[in-house]
């Protein structure tokens, strides 16, 4: 990937993150924002929207950092374990480990008396379903070797990026940050092979000249 493609990916992801953060943030507290409009607090309303957009942009940058960090870790993993098959098995084990850690530690930290542990399966299960759908899409557009790395990135890396709001258990920010991260991560992983393919084609054309 050349610099132009990377900058295009960066700014596109940035705008997507800002837009998603704005929309989800508004929907989470739509009543308070609607009341602000009816009360004539237009300036305050616009500042709030700008803040949500800026926050979404920050989350998108975090998503991009995680994405490029995983690309590095993925190459290291392939070299360390010697084969894509063994590295995939290691990633599957880590996915299972993170899934149950996310359930167990959140249950231990936030469960009220008589609250069932099943309630704490909802968030990781929903993330896993989205991750699997994204991985299946990636597999369809590329090859079957892309399934596990995509699943790992979408689940494990998203959880790591999500930790700042998962620990305080602030439901508002869990929604805003979670949806923004998932959207940005899915966009990056699904667009990457197209950018690389275009770059490879251009390189071949230049060599032909």
Q: Given this model, what pLDDT does residue 198 score? A: 58
CB 1 within 8 A of CB 202: no
Helical pair 158-166 and 171-208, crossing angle rounded to 10 deg: 150
Q: Given this model, what pLDDT does residue 1 score? A: 64
Q: Given this model, what pLDDT does residue 36 score? A: 66
Distance CA 174, CA 157 (A): 15
Q: Given this model, what pLDDT does residue 151 score? A: 97
CA 205 to chain centre: 34
Q: Given this model, what pLDDT does residue 209 score? A: 28
Tokens of 103: 């359930």
Distance CA 103, CA 129 (A): 15
CB 131 within 8 A of CB 74: no
Which residue positions in the chain have pLDDT lower than 50? 199-209
Run of H or E including 146 = none
Which of 58, 59, 52, 44 has its CA nearest to residue 26? 52
Tokens of 37: 């409009």
* Strands (E) located in 54-125: none
Q: Given this model, what pLDDT does residue 3 score? A: 82
pTM for the model stands at 0.89
Q: Given this model, what pLDDT does residue 88 score? A: 94
CA 31 to chain centre: 27
CB 104 within 8 A of CB 128: no
């Amino acid at each position: 990937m050349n610099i132009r493609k990377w900058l295009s990916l960066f700014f596109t992801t940035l705008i997507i993150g800002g837009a998603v953060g704005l929309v989800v943030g508004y929907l989470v507290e739509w009543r308070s924002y609607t009341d602000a409009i009816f009360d004539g607090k237009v300036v305050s309303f616009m500042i709030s929207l700008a803040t949500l957009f800026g926050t979404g942009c920050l989350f998108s940058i975090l998503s991009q950092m995680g994405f490029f960090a995983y690309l590095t870790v993925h190459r290291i993993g392939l070299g360390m374990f010697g084969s894509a098959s063994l590295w995939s098995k290691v990633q599957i084990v880590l996915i299972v480990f993170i899934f149950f850690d996310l359930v167990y530690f959140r249950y231990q930290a936030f469960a009220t008396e008589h609250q069932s542990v099943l309630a704490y399966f909802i968030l990781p299960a929903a993330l896993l379903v989205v991750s699997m759908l994204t991985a299946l899409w990636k597999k369809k557009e590329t090859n079957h070797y892309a399934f596990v790395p995509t699943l790992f990135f979408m689940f494990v890396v998203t959880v790591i990026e999500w930790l700042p709001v998962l620990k305080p258990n602030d439901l508002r920010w869990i929604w805003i940050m979670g949806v923004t991260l998932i959207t940005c991560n899915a966009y990056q992983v699904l667009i990457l092979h197209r950018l690389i393919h275009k770059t490879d084609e251009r390189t071949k054309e230049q060599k032909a000249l």
